[in-house]
Chain A
Amino acid sequence: AQTVTQSQPEMSVQEAETVTLSCTYDTSESDYYLFWYKQPPSRQMILVIRQEAYKQQNATENRFSVNFQKAAKSFSLKISDSQLGDAAMYFCAYSRNKLVFGAGTILRVKS
């Protein structure tokens, strides 16, 4: 079975600084997708970024980028120029035939 591990239960970052959230996963498949979702206190899960496993180029979406290391099965999320609105629970997720989520990382942004 696929598993997703987020080893940082909580992280803090100063506003305007950069923070990296870690994620590792375990799979024997070669074709899959990886996602980062954000869940603020308002509850809605919001897609932040996705990565296709067969693409070597790391995905970027404005201030959000990933470092995808397929051989190491690592998929970290970098948030640049952190903003107060980035404060949320962040979930890393693996997808083959269904989404498998990691335990989540609470990100706090200090002003």
Chain B
Amino acid sequence: DTEVTQTPKHLVMGMTNKKSLKCEQHMGHRAMYWYKQKAKKPPELMFVYSYEKLSINESVPSRFSPECPNSSLLNLHLHALQPEDSALYLCASSQESGLNQPQHFGDGTRLSIL
């Protein structure tokens, strides 16, 4: 069983739609992450939140908008996405954002853009 819960598991949306991906953890972790993963490729870091503040944005296009309402929740708001944005989106959390902290991953949301 995963300790990081992501919803929905699958999402199909048009390029003009607005949708949100959700991630939740109850391990008391203070760092949360969004990754994008294409098929048979490694995850690519998108955003890092530390103590509910955005600490890293890996030059992600503005059509992706992260939000951290509280220490347990992380959202990724999607608007006007492109077909190349179709991918598996993984959320992860760790105790802190330090270098020695193993990250715990969710099962991901598989996103398809029509």
State the A residues within 8 Å of B (CB): 31-33, 35, 37, 42-47, 50, 52, 89, 91, 95-99, 101-104, 106
Chain A residues, Cβ within 8 Å of B103: 45, 47, 99
Total A-B residue contacts, Cβ distance less than 8 Å: 50
Contact with A along B82-99 (1 / 0, CB 8 A): 000000101010000101
Closest A residue to B110 using CB positions: A43
* A44, B41: Cβ atoms closer than 8 Å: no
List 10 A-B pairs, minimum CB-CB distance, nearest first: A101-B42, A45-B105, A44-B107, A43-B108, A96-B99, A47-B102, A33-B100, A95-B99, A43-B107, A33-B99
Contact: B45 with A98, CB < 8 Å? yes
Contact indicator B90/A45 (Cβ below 8 Å):
yes
CA distance A35 to B101 in the complex (A): 10
A98-B48 contact, Cβ under 8 Å, with A91-B42, A103-B41, A103-B42 = yes
Asked if A97 meets B107 with Cβ closer than 8 Å, knowing A45-B43, A45-B92, A102-B42, the reply is: no
Alpha-carbon gap, A16 to B36, bound state (A): 34
Residues from chain B with a CB closer than 8 A to the CB of A33 are: 99-100
Q: A42-B107, A43-B88, A43-B107 are in contact. Are A101 and B99 (CB under 8 A)?
A: no
Beyond A45-B92, A104-B41, is A97–B108 a contact (Cβ under 8 Å)?
A: no
